[in-house]
Amino acid sequence: MGKRLEGIQRMLIIVNKLKESRTGIPQNELIRHVAQCMEMRGYSPVDIRTLERDFKEIAELFGIDIGHNKKQGGYYIKEQDGMSLERYEQLLLNFDLLNAIESDTDLYSYVLAEHHRPIHSEWLPPLISAIKNRHPIEFQYLLVRHNDQVEEKRVQPYYLKESNQRWYLLAYEGEVLKTFGVDRIRRLQVLENEHFRRDRQVDVDSLFRDSYGIWNQADIPVEDIELRYDALDGKFLKSLPLHSSQKVLADTPEEFRIALRLRITNDFVMELLSRSRSLEVISPRHLRERIRKIYEDALKRNS
Residue 194 sits at the vertex; the CA angle it makes with 193 and 199, to the nearest 5 degrees, is 150
- Which amino acid would we find at residue 250? A
pLDDT digits (tens, 9 = 90+) for 171-223: 999 988 888 999 899 989 999 999 999 887 877 777 778 888 776 677 889 99
User: Per-residue pLDDT for 254 more than 90?
Assistant: yes
- pLDDT greater at residue 65 or residue 83: 65
- pLDDT greater at residue 77 or residue 41: 77
In which band, very low, low, confident or very high, does the pLDDT at 58 lie, cut at 50, 70 and 90? confident
**Nearest Cα to Cα of residue 202 among 220, 176, 164:** 176
Mean pLDDT of 243-249: 94
Segment 62-66 long-range contacts (CB within 8 Å, at least 24 positions apart): 62/11, 62/15, 62/87, 62/88, 64/15, 64/88, 66/14, 66/18
Q: Among 18-27, 76-85, 120-129, whose mean pLDDT is lowest?
A: 76-85
Exposed e or buried b for every residue in 242-279, given b needs 16+ CB within 10 A? Answer: bbebbeeeeeeeebbbbebebbbbebbeeebeeeeeee
pLDDT at 102: 46
Q: Among 12-26, 71-85, 139-153, whose mean pLDDT is lowest?
A: 71-85
**DSSP string across 14-40:** HHHHHTT-SS-B-HHHHHHHHHHHHHH
Q: Please, which residues bridge with residue 149 across strands?
A: 143
User: Per-residue pLDDT for 153 more than 90?
Assistant: yes
pLDDT at 225: 97
Sorted by where each starts, the structural domains of the chain and their CATH numbers stand as 2-109 (1.10.10), 121-201 (2.30.30), 222-302 (3.30.70)
In which band, very low, low, confident or very high, does the pLDDT at 232 lie, cut at 50, 70 and 90? very high
Mean pLDDT of 122-133: 83
pLDDT at 287: 97
Q: Which residues contact 45 (CB under 8 A, 6 or more apart)?
A: 35, 38, 39
Q: Please, which residues bridge with residue 140 across strands?
A: 152, 186
In which band, very low, low, confident or very high, does the pLDDT at 145 lie, cut at 50, 70 and 90? confident
Residue 252 sits at the vertex; the CA angle it makes with 271 and 231, to the nearest 5 degrees, is 40
**Nearest Cα to Cα of residue 153 among 122, 125, 188:** 188
Q: Please, which residues bridge with residue 215 across strands?
A: none
Residue 151, φ and ψ in degrees, nearest 5: -120, 145
User: Measured between alpha carbons, how far is 134 from 123 in angstroms, rounded to an integer?
Assistant: 16
In which band, very low, low, confident or very high, does the pLDDT at 85 lie, cut at 50, 70 and 90? low
User: Per-residue pLDDT for 1 more than 50?
Assistant: no
pLDDT digits (tens, 9 = 90+) for 155-175: 999 988 877 778 889 999 998
In terms of DSSP bridges, do strands 176-181 and 185-190 run parallel, antiparallel, or are they unpaired?
Answer: unpaired
User: Per-residue pLDDT for 24 more than 60?
Assistant: yes
In which band, very low, low, confident or very high, does the pLDDT at 89 lie, cut at 50, 70 and 90? low
User: Measured between alpha carbons, how far is 134 from 136 in angstroms, rounded to an integer?
Assistant: 7
In terms of DSSP bridges, do strands 247-251 and 256-263 run parallel, antiparallel, or are they unpaired?
Answer: antiparallel
Residue 182 sits at the vertex; the CA angle it makes with 179 and 184, to the nearest 5 degrees, is 95
- Looking at the chain, the whole-number percentage of residues with pLDDT higher than 90 is 36
In which band, very low, low, confident or very high, does the pLDDT at 245 lie, cut at 50, 70 and 90? very high
User: Which secondary structure element, helix H or strand E, spans residue 74, and what is its range?
Assistant: strand 74-77
* Separation in Å, CA 56 to CA 40, 59, 62: 24, 5, 10
